Amino acid sequence: MNTSPLAQAFPELPAIEGVTLRVARARYKEWDRCDLTFAELAPGTSVAGVTTQSRCPSPEVEWCRKALVLGQARALVVNAGNSNAFTGDRGRAAVEAIAARAAGHLGCQPSDVFVASTGVIGVPLPIDKAEAGLDAAFTAQPCDWRAATDAIGTTDTFPKAAVTRAIVDGKTITLVGIIKGSGMIAPDMATMLGFVFTDAAIEPAYLQRALTAANEASFSRITVDSDTSTSDTVLAFATGAAGNATITADEDAGADAFRAALSDLCLQLAHLVVRDGEGATKFIQVDVQGAESDRSAHRIAMSIANSPLVKTAIAGGDANWGRVVMAVGKAGEPAERDRLAIRFGATQVARDGLAVPDYDEAPVAKHLRGQEIEIGVDIGLGDGRATAWTCDLTHGYISINADYRS
């Protein structure tokens, strides 16, 4: 697979105290690469998470949901190459076996072990390979973020990670996130597999609130192909090693700074997934304002971002704003044709229900030749606004998905 033309360089990432990473070859597929990631977390680590809204979630997702109630984590295990989704009792047994094996090594409860898997749907995760891989990981040397990020990827064409910092209670805290995902991306409350690690001390319930809010403004605003995965999971782990007074509420010192840093990190990670969208050649930002509510604006933005006709027009560098009108119209949200305004980049192309007088397509065509595309829509009815991000729809998407058994 060629690297996405929208790829970004892997950033310099600092260690997070309380987090130890190891990878191993479980050989879930016939490949010569690490495909099992094991993150050991210091005792006392808080955890929060958001998972797919799919009605057919993987057993890993169900396991994480139950474990999240307790708010404590000692380990994260990620399997790449097999999502273990839609595998019935055998899939559930595989997750339980992995959690038990990891808990036995660490001397913790199985419910302290979080498990996520990604890859083909419908094939039970082989327990023997998982256990052998875990055993290998326990004895392996610790690795860096890059090795862990490589090990969680599947059809990803570049490794995706981000870092932010904040001052909390006089201490510098650090957040590092790693993420994988390229197709089957329309998270609607979560994304493929994303993991955030911080050394801040955060009470689990507060970490959950902060993650839920960050997710709403990041992973829930991206789409590659409108197809929501069975396995979407984002987990956030806070080891507390930074030594700040534990954050438990908005009023606490540094709570604002932490929330802002977490939101920034999640948005960076979400954008990286779009930049690795299957077949993507352009990164598209859709800004909607003037809707009746923020929720309405969000639905309109996603209707545009999911439209195959809008996405193929952008792929072809075609300033086809009629397709944007179509996508606004099909969203089912309040809109009045005669108040609608549309821009590409900085150029207004339509206003008050028709093309602007003396519309000059040249600056729009130039904007569309770039890699970073902006579509702006003003509904003209109220104050609701929202932004969504997507990529274009190209021959590359067809080539990847008409052949690949995901």
What's the min distance (Å) between Cβ of 219 and a copy of itself? 15
**Residue 139: how many CB atoms within 10 A of its CB?**
9
Record the tokens describing residue 207, joined without a space. 């970490």
Task: Report, in Å, the least distance between residue 304 CB and a copy of itself.
Answer: 11
**What is d(CA 77, CA 55) in angstroms, rounded to the nearest whole number?**
23
- For the CB of residue 352, give the shortest distance to a copy of itself in the complex, in Å: 7
Question: CA 212, CA 189: separation in Å to the nearest integer?
Answer: 8
**Candidate residues 118, 218, 229, 239; the one interacting with a copy of itself per rule CB under 8 A:** 229
Using the contact rule CB under 8 A, the part of the chain among 33-41, 106-114, 140-148, 325-333 near a copy of itself is: 325-333
Q: Which is nearer to a copy of itself, 267 or 304 (CB)?
A: 304
Q: Is 56 in the site for a copy of itself (CB under 8 A)?
A: yes
**Would strands 113-120 and 72-82 be described as parallel, antiparallel, or unpaired?**
parallel
Instruction: Decide: is 370 part of the binding site for a copy of itself (CB under 8 A).
Output: no
Q: Kindly tell me which residue out of 11, 170, 355, 360 binds a copy of itself, with binding defined by CB under 8 A.
A: 355
Q: Which residue has the tokens 């839920």?
A: 212
Residue 9 vs 362, nearer CB to a copy of itself: 362
- Per CB under 8 A, 1 contacts a copy of itself: no
Q: Please list the active-site residues.
A: 191
Answer yes or no: are the C-beta atoms of 72 and 112 closer than 8 Å. yes
User: Least distance from C-beta 2 to a copy of itself, angstroms?
Assistant: 17
> What span, in angstroms and rounded, lies between the C-alpha atoms of 206 and 405?
39
Tokens in use for 153?
Answer: 């990827």
DSSP-derived letter for residue 143 is B
Residue 347 annotated as part of some ligand binding site: no
Cβ atoms of residues 129 and 225 within 8 Å: no
Q: Six-digit token pair at 326? A: 């179509």
| Site stretch for a copy of itself (CB under 8 A), options 95-103, 283-291, 315-323, 364-372 | 315-323
Helix 294-306 to helix 321-330 angle (10° resolution) is 130
Exactly one of 33, 330, 366, 369 binds a copy of itself (CB under 8 A); that residue is 330
Which residues inside 113-152 make contact with a copy of itself, applying CB under 8 A?
A: 120-124
Whether 278 has a binding-site annotation, put simply, is: yes
Residue of 141, 73, 64, 71 whose CA lies nearest to 106: 73
Q: What CA–CA distance (Å, rounded) separates 15 from 148?
A: 12
Residues between 154 and 183 that touch a copy of itself (CB under 8 A): 183
Q: Please report whether residue 312 would count as binding a copy of itself according to CB under 8 A.
A: yes
**Residue 277 is a binding residue for a copy of itself (CB under 8 A):** no
Residue 331 found at the interface with a copy of itself (CB under 8 A) = yes
Q: Is 155 annotated as a binding residue?
A: no
Which residue, 73 or 310, has its beta carbon nearer to a copy of itself? 310
Task: For residue 401, say whether it is annotated as part of any ligand binding site.
Answer: yes
Reported residue count of the chain is 406
Taking only Cα atoms into account, the Rg of the chain, rounded to an integer number of angstroms, comes to 22
Ligand-binding annotation for 248, yes or no, is no
- The CA-based angle 152-184-306, given to 5 degrees, is 140
Query: Of these, 43, 329, 380, 382, which contacts a copy of itself (CB under 8 A)?
Result: 329
> Nearest approach, Cβ of 192 to a copy of itself (angstroms)?
12
**Could you tell me if 233 and 49 are in contact, meaning their C-beta atoms sit under 8 angstroms apart?**
yes
Least Å distance, CB 84 to a copy of itself, is: 11
Q: Which stretch binds a copy of itself (CB under 8 A): 83-91, 128-136, 143-151, 362-370?
A: 83-91
Does 226 interact with a copy of itself (rule: CB under 8 A)? yes
The residue type of 89 is D
15, β-bridge pairs? none
- For the record, the structure tokens of 60 come out as 């890993």
Size of site (CB under 8 A) for a copy of itself: 72
**Closest to 77 (Cα-Cα) out of 284, 233, 249:** 233
82 annotated ligand-binding residue: no
Annotated binding site: 154, 180, 191, 278, 401, 406
Annotated binding residues for substrate? 154, 180, 191, 278, 401, 406
